[in-house]
Structure 1
């Protein structure tokens, strides 16, 4: 638009006129010293001007403009900025956050996940971002906690990326092995921006949790050095993390999502699991016929195929992760060859599982 050009908008039955106004900074500042300052901004041959919009409407619509139209304009502008901004992935480096552009392509549309569960997660996210006034009225911090649990390769990290892309939230990837103390942890968490997702992956391996009966099996992984459950400022502790999740420090920011991931939910301290900390528990399962069809569509743009029934039947008999299915589908450009390879892969895995069961039954393991 050029100076003096107008555009007309209509909202809720009322007509509004916007007019672009361009002004010389020197004229606006109004004194010789400020004129010199304004000229300095324009040195190098660049022409500087102040641009603004004037809004006009019939005076009888003043209340409607203030109460309805201007909030609508601000909300629309915010939505446009959110769509256009580059999402960031923040990580800890030298005791401070450093950021890179987040270009993870995962979306809820491409996520290999049960359709009902997917809709439940999306509805919960939408309800969260739309309830600012509700959280304020009820005296709660505007945050939401999600626990993602399930075997490796079931899409936990992809779900986090899909959440970020869906909400246009930055991700803060907190690797607790990089944090030396509760005070460092607190400083980092307070330094997060609003409208962001804090992710702590493999939480069961990052904090010294209670060892309950059954936790001493061969699959148990020891907590990483330097992490404990006691309350000490010279260590990262479970209580220090929980104080941020739902203590007084949880009010240091707005519109924040906290995500913990684990392969073994049963190994987590109950203190991590109660409502108000992890509000929604999401089980990321092995590949199902439904999630397989999503992957086939993603990688080969095929909605149905003569080999689908055989593959889906095999998936009912064998535990196979979405990551394994995706890896096989990527090996061939042709859909027939890719699906044939997938059948061979699942059958081989089924045979290996059968041999393992026979070995265990015979006591030779």
Structure 2
């Protein structure tokens, strides 16, 4: 995956690429400030919106290695330290689904409430301190990327600048994203069905992964787009039915209260 083939809003894509370029040019700045040459990104949004694809595009753009850290496999802060020491410079450390990987927030809360904390427990403070401390002695650029489907569940200590410097909302598919997917999968830049499909995409919540799956179902481009159109119309009907059901339940509650 590259930025040129990534199904992402063009403005967001340019903003991120500019941020990465600026980060790489600031080696002397970070050294002068006495700060670790690192940058943190939070990718948040519903499943299937392209978070993993964006990480791959970032790595290809920067020519960085990727390390995928599975917190659920760690049992202690010492395990975490060993893994972080094994990573190379000019790398991206990825921690996916940070909100559900381990119950770090609960462990820290227990510690704050006076519950004794064993040294071998993995904690949120341990995660953040190790990253800050170990990477502060690095002489080259490092990036850490967190992903989550639920940004509201994250501890504020993680969200602040210095930890997650840039927050990137991975949204449902947009007309721009659809056009990129149509180019990637069908080799099309325009088609008679584009206008109708783009209008439907504006009305329903559909992920880039769902759109890509529909485009993959048929070898013929016309049939693939027709199938996508039918799929989007079905999602629109389902959304309208759910909305009518909710409105009906609300009316029933009003009647009962009356």
CA distance in 2, matches of 1:299, 1:191: 38
1:209 CA displacement: 5.4
Residue number among 220, 238, 247 corresponding to 1:361 in the alignment? 247
Indicate which of 52, 68, 75 corresponds to 1:180.
Answer: 75
User: In structure 2, what is the equivalent of residue 327 of structure 1?
Assistant: 213
Aligned-residue offset at 1:357: 1.9
- After TM superposition, the runs of 4+ consecutive aligned structure 1 residues lying more than 3 A away are none
Find out whether 1:157 has 2:68 as its counterpart.
no
> Separation in 2 of the partners of 1:205 and 1:123?
31
Give secondary structure in 2 for the equivalent of 1:236.
coil
1:352 aligns with 2:231: no
5+ residue gaps, structure 1, are 1-105, 211-226
> In the alignment, which residue of structure 2 is the partner of 1:314?
200
Higher helix share: 2
With CA pairs under 8 Å and 6+ residues apart, which has the higher RCO, 1 or 2? 2
CA contact (8 A) 1:243 1:250 kept: no
Deviations 1:206-254 (A, max 9, x none): 23255xxxxxxxxxxxxxxxx83246421111001110333x2231433
Kept after mapping to 1: 8 A contact 2:30/2:36: yes
Whether the aligned pair in 1 keeps the contact of 2:182 and 2:189 (CA below 8 Å) is: yes
The superposition leaves residues 24-44 of structure 1 with CA deviations (integer Å, 9 ceiling, x where unpaired) of xxxxxxxxxxxxxxxxxxxxx
CA distance in 2, matches of 1:279, 1:112: 23
Deviations 1:316-350, CA, capped at 9 Å, x for gaps? 11010000000000111111101000000001111
Deviation at 1:187, TM superposition (A): 1.3
Contact 1:207–1:238 (Cα < 8 Å) also in 2: no
Decide whether the 8 Å contact of 1:190 with 1:252 is kept in 2.
no
Cα–Cα, structure 1 residues 195 and 170, in superposed 2: closer, same or farther, change >3 Å?
same
Gaps in structure 2 of 5+ consecutive residues: 112-116, 251-258
Distance between the aligned counterparts of 1:245 and 1:309, measured in 2? 47
Per the TM alignment, residue 183 of structure 1 is displaced from its structure 2 partner at its CA by 1.1
CA distance in 2, matches of 1:228, 1:343: 48
Change (3 A) 1:186 1:252: farther
Shift of 1:163: 0.6
Q: Paired residues, what number?
A: 242
TM-score, normalising length: structure 2: 0.90
More strand by share: 1
RMSD of the alignment, in Å?
1.5
